[in-house]
Amino acid sequence: MKSSTVHVPAPQAGSAGAASASRRAFLQKIGLASLLTGLAGFGLQSLRSLIPNVLYESPQKFKIGLPSLLADGVTFLEGRRLYVVKEGKSFHAISGACTHLGCTVKYTKLQQPKQVDINGEKKQITAEFHCPCHGSKFYDDGTNYAGPAPTPLHWYKLSVAPDDGQLIVDLGDEVERNFRLTV
Ligand code: FES
């Protein structure tokens, strides 16, 4: 009977060592890559934390909505202490802060229309602004005529935002009392 011999190749010490070394190098590369990724992420987060989470837009300038959505007449924006007046297609904005010591003036409808003289111009008004603190009174255009308020109420510039058509008020830009924005 013939016996057969199977030759199993003897493990080659040299090639096994090389495989193990390349596996080690590969694992080291992966380790290094994840370490670098982690460090990069951490670095980015640290940098981001140095930048305050705010909009660099002047807080003096803000949008108040679409002109078509504003009610005709006078709208009081309480948080801004601002009266926005809409007369058809014309808009203007008057400060609600009394020019004496800064109390908020109240828009007050008159019992009956009143003839007034504002800078030599006769005008009929139906409302005024009254200050509850020390009694200053202003005509409907903000002209002071009674009480300790030394100057008229401030008027601020209105414009239309080019991106969405909303009205923009700029409290940093005071305008004359004949200013009107027509939309
Ligand atoms: S704060 Fe308005 S009258 Fe004094």
Mean pLDDT, all residues of the chain? 85
Q: What is the DSSP string of the chain?
A: -------PPPP-HHHHHHHHHHHHHHHHHHHHHHHHHHHHHHHHHHHHHHS-S---S-TTEEEEE-GGGSPSEEEEEGGGTEEEEEETTEEEEEE-B-TTT-PBPEEEEEEEEEEEEETTEEEEEEEEEE-TTT--EEETT--EEESS--SPPPEEEEEE-TTT--EEEEEEEEE-TT--EE-
CA 91/CA 113 separation, integer angstroms: 22
Of 21-30, 47-56, 162-171, which has the strongest mean pLDDT? 162-171
Give percent of the chain with pLDDT exceeding 70: 70
Instruction: Give the residue, out of 136, 137, 153, 154, with the most ligand 1 atoms within 8 A of its beta carbon, to mutate for a pocket test.
Output: 136
pTM of the model: 0.69
Length of the chain: 183
pLDDT score at 3: 47
pLDDT score of 112 more than 90: yes
- Ligand 1 atom closest to residue 131's alpha carbon, by position in its atom list: 2
111 CA → ligand 1 middle, Å: 23
pLDDT score at 156: 98
pLDDT score at 18: 63
pLDDT score at 143: 97
- Ligand 1 atom closest to residue 136's alpha carbon, by position in its atom list: 3
Ligand 1 pocket, residues with Cβ under 6 angstroms: 98, 100-103, 131, 133-136, 147-149
Which of 139, 154, 140, 174 lies closest to 99, judged by CA? 154
Confidence of residue 59 (pLDDT cuts 50, 70, 90): confident
Per the model's pLDDT, the better-predicted residue between 172 and 24 turns out to be 172
Digit-coded pLDDT (tens) for 159-171 = 999 999 999 999 9
pLDDT score of 183 more than 50: yes
Instruction: Give the residue, out of 81, 98, 129, 144, with the most ligand 1 atoms within 8 A of its beta carbon, to mutate for a pocket test.
Output: 98
69 CA → ligand 1 middle, Å: 32
